[in-house]
Amino acid sequence: MPRRIAAIRVAAAGAGLLAACQPAPPPGGPTGPERHKVEVTQRIDSITVPFAGNSTELPAASRSGLGGFLDEIGAGRDAVVVVRAPTGVKGDLGAQRRNAVLRFLKARGLRPRRRDSLLPQVEVPAEKVLVRVAQYAAKLPACPDHSRGRLGRLSNQNSSNYGCATNHNLGAMVANPRDLVRGRELAPARTTRQMHRIRSYRAGASVGGESDGGGTGVAVDGGEQ
């Protein structure tokens, strides 16, 4: 019995020593890459596009208003443009009006879609097409960061500048800051053809081009987003 009690006391003492060796939380918050994250901000602008009567043609005033709105917010090719069909209209009138707005936006080099996972859902005004534009910007960490001059006190902490340049350069190089929040959709990708080639490669079959008998994968169009 005394040996067992002694063993328990030694184990407890060892646990206390290990706890004492744990580094204390760094003063002033996290260090290293956690301290120098790239902040991505989202800005959402909206406009409702009116139509006349039961017409499906985009009126000149609506064209001018929508074009001025896009110019004012500086919507570029990387902007996420979501176009929702109007409610409260009969038949396919809403879909035709939405298509009229889609053609206008595509002519300006934009890539409109039905929905986006990073945009909160909102109600569509009756008899008007709703256009929402989301743009993303990256706020870069300030480098170099020499706020902590030394690493001492046996805390085993990273330098205050550790990872700063890497994250700063990442934020400066990324073409669309939204990619730092969520990856892009694969559509419209020929996923069936790609899967066929992968299976053929793993099976040791030919994976040549279409003209040399390398397989007959079916092209799949991802459709409109």
Identify whether residues 115 and 202 lie together within a single domain.
Answer: no
Decide if 175 is inside a domain: no
Distances 90 to 12, 48, 85, 128 between C-alpha atoms, Å: 77, 19, 12, 13
Domain end call among 102, 118, 138: 138
Decide if 75 is inside a domain: yes
Decide if 13 is inside a domain: no
Helix H, strand E, coil C: the string for 64-109 is HHHHHHHHHHCCCCCCEEEEECCECCCCCHHHHHHHHHHHHHHHCC
**189-211: pLDDT as tens digits:** 677 777 888 888 888 887 665 44
Identify whether residues 123 and 207 lie together within a single domain.
Answer: no
Decide if 210 is inside a domain: yes
**Residues in a beta bridge with 48:** 130
Confidence grade of residue 161 (pLDDT, cut at 50, 70, 90): confident
Decide if 217 is inside a domain: yes
Read off the DSSP letter of residue 29: S
Decide if 121 is inside a domain: yes
**Residues in a beta bridge with 43:** 135
Identify whether residues 204 and 122 lie together within a single domain.
Answer: no
Give residue 168's pLDDT: 92
Identify whether residues 201 and 122 lie together within a single domain.
Answer: no
Mean pLDDT estimate for the chain:
78
Give residue 170's pLDDT: 92
Decide if 5 is inside a domain: no
Identify whether residues 50 and 132 lie together within a single domain.
Answer: yes
DSSP, collapsed to helix, strand or coil, labels residue 134 as: strand
Tell me the CATH number at 116.
Answer: 3.30.1330.60
Answer for the pair 188, 59: CB distance below 8 angstroms, yes or no. no
Identify whether residues 190 and 119 lie together within a single domain.
Answer: no
Identify whether residues 46 and 131 lie together within a single domain.
Answer: yes
Enclosing domain of residue 82: 41-138
Identify whether residues 191 and 134 lie together within a single domain.
Answer: no
Identify whether residues 78 and 134 lie together within a single domain.
Answer: yes
**Residues in a beta bridge with 40:** 138
Give residue 196's pLDDT: 80
Identify whether residues 128 and 190 lie together within a single domain.
Answer: no
Question: Which long-range CB contacts under 8 A does 151-156 form with residues at least 24 apart?
Answer: 154/23, 155/23, 155/24, 155/26, 156/23
Mean pLDDT of 118-130: 90
Helix 60-73 to helix 93-107 angle, to the nearest 10 degrees? 50
HSE of 216, CA atoms in CB hemisphere, 13 A: 1
* Closest listed residue to residue 194, CA positions, set 167, 171, 222: 222
Identify whether residues 70 and 132 lie together within a single domain.
Answer: yes
Number of folded domains in the chain?
2
Domain end call among 77, 111, 138: 138
The 10 Å Cβ neighbour count of residue 49 is 23
Decide if 153 is inside a domain: no
Identify whether residues 52 and 134 lie together within a single domain.
Answer: yes
HSE of 46, CA atoms in CB hemisphere, 13 A: 13
DSSP, collapsed to helix, strand or coil, labels residue 43 as: strand
Helix residue ranges per DSSP H, the chain: 2-21, 60-73, 93-107, 164-173, 191-203
Give residue 184's pLDDT: 77
Domain end call among 105, 120, 138: 138
Answer for the pair 207, 214: CB distance below 8 angstroms, yes or no. yes
